[in-house]
Amino acid sequence: MKKIAFAFLAAVSLMAQTSCDSASKLAEDIDGSWSSAPEMLANTPDGLITGVDNFVFSKTESTSGTLMIATMISVNREIPVDDESTDPVSLTASAKATVQGTWIAADDDEIRLVIDPASIKVEIDPEGIVAVPSLITEVDAPTTDSIPPALAAALKKEILKVMTAKYIGLSQMDDVEIKDGRMKYEVENTHYIMSLQTQD
């Protein structure tokens, strides 16, 4: 009976050690800066919002560390002009959203994330908003100076709402596979691929 109990404890200990080693290997592999492909963040009748993520995993312990996410965002939409007989003007804007958090490698293919909602920030430059005239009517687009500050504020508010939902939804990365500078993973059954960014 004692031999059986000893064998059982030894097997449990071996499994725990193997799991720990696998998690440590994943933590070592994920440490670094990863960039995503462009992703659609919102598609509404008002326009389109897309973004490119950069995840920076910094390992501070054998299986865990800190996380910094930066998303470069592009906004495309139409805005009405004063003359009701002309088509709306196409407007583009760029923004950057950031958030901080922590991560832990739970096993060989699972990363658990803890996002800090209070750290979510959105930066949008009103002078970076560009209006393009209609190609059909050739109506002059409003200049940057003539675009109301309220429009920039509204865009920032909308982007903050979209990015808050996106970031809060990042609680776990499943089926993580890292090979040859590429990382494949799933978040809530949606597949993603990121590339490791090399430092010159």
Q: What is the pLDDT of residues 156-193, one digit of tens each?
A: 999 999 999 999 999 999 999 999 999 999 999 999 99
> Is 117:101 a contact under the CB 8 Å cutoff?
no
Structural domains of the chain, count: 1
Task: Give CA–CA dist 43/49, Å, rounded.
Answer: 6
In sequence order, what are the residues at sequence separation of 6 or more whose Cβ sits closer than 8 angstroms to the Cβ of residue 3?
none
Q: pLDDT, tens digit, for every residue of 46-84?
A: 889 999 999 999 999 999 999 999 999 999 988 766 555
pLDDT higher at 7 or 40: 40
Q: What percent of the chain has pLDDT over 90?
A: 62
Task: Give CA–CA dist 21/108, Å, rounded.
Answer: 8
Task: Give CA–CA dist 120/167, Å, rounded.
Answer: 8
Handedness of CA 113, 50, 162, 123 (dihedral sign): positive
Q: pLDDT, tens digit, for every residue of 104-162?
A: 999 999 999 999 999 999 998 777 788 776 554 454 555 545 466 777 888 899 999 99
Find the radius of gyration of the CA atoms of the chain: 23
Residues of the domain holding 103? 2-196
**Could you tell me the two tokens for 51?**
């973004």
**Could you tell me the two tokens for 130?**
């560009």
**To which residue do tokens 């990121």 refer?**
194
Q: Which of 77, 118, 71 is nearest to 96 (CA)?
A: 71
**To which residue do tokens 């805005």 refer?**
79
Task: Report pLDDT for 86.
Answer: 58
